């Protein structure tokens, strides 16, 4: 589904302070988002959300073309960074509402650290918390500063797409989906009814 002209509020700035962490996810300080993503990047706290519908399909978003890193790539339902003093579930709910217009209970599943470079424009180096949720009959109202398109896909279709055309997807989506399928498959939302 494609989107129209942008009239949505801006919910993310390059000057936003991110939480720097060590390998044990202990906070070590704060630094603006732009600096955290410069060069090889600096390790910071983040989260990724996977939202499923009543058919067991997962919501994917295509990142807006104005994004510095991986613009136009397909990614998981929502991903961002917590604010100072904000717990991960609270941050994930806030951002899911800001980006997708969806109110969803989210279950934390696991956290991991990854590093990925995007051309010569910077890198993601994140300690990322992965959460899942499910809604009946969800209809996203996306923020077009963040998202250029969205779609529901079956787990099988996502697995196939990641294998057949990996260059169309963000690297963290590929890593997270592989772990979700291999280690958390029984805990992922299924078709209802």
Phi then psi for 135, rounded to 5 degrees? -135, 145
What is each CA distance from 75 to 84, 121, 123, 193, in whole angstroms? 25, 18, 16, 28
Whether 126 is a known active-site residue: answer yes
Whether 23 is a known active-site residue: answer no
Question: In the numeric block, which tokens belong to residue 10?
Answer: 């801006």
Catalytic residue among 126, 128, 146, 176: 126
CA pair distance 163, 147, nearest whole angstrom: 23
Helix ranges restricted to H, the chain = 33-37, 88-100, 155-164, 171-183
What is the C-alpha radius of gyration for the chain, rounded to an integer number of angstroms? 16
Catalytic residue among 79, 124, 128, 146: 79
CA pair distance 131, 48, nearest whole angstrom: 6
Question: In the numeric block, which tokens belong to residue 115?
Answer: 């590093």
Q: Cite the active site residues.
A: 79, 126
């Amino acid at each position: 589904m494609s989107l129209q002209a942008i009239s949505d509020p801006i919910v993310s700035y390059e000057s936003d302070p991110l939480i720097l962490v060590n390998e044990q996810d202990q906070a070590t300080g704060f630094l603006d988002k732009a600096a955290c993503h410069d060069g090889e990047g600096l390790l910071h706290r983040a989260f990724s959300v996977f939202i499923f519908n009543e058919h067991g399909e997962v919501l994917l978003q295509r990142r807006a073309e104005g994004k510095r890193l991986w613009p136009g790539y397909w990614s998981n339902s929502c991903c961002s960074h917590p604010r100072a003093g904000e717990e991960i579930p609270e941050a994930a709910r806030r951002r899911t509402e800001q980006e997708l217009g969806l109110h969803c209970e989210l279950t934390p599943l696991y956290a991991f650290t990854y590093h990925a470079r995007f051309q010569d424009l910077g890198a993601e180096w994140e300690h990322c918390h992965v959460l899942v949720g499910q809604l009946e009959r969800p209809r996203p109202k996306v923020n077009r500063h963040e998202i250029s398109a969205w779609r529901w896909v079956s787990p099988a279709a996502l697995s196939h797409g990641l294998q057949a055309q990996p260059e169309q997807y963000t690297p963290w989506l590929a890593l997270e989906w592989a772990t979700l399928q291999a280690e958390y498959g029984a805990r992922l939302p299924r078709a209802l009814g």
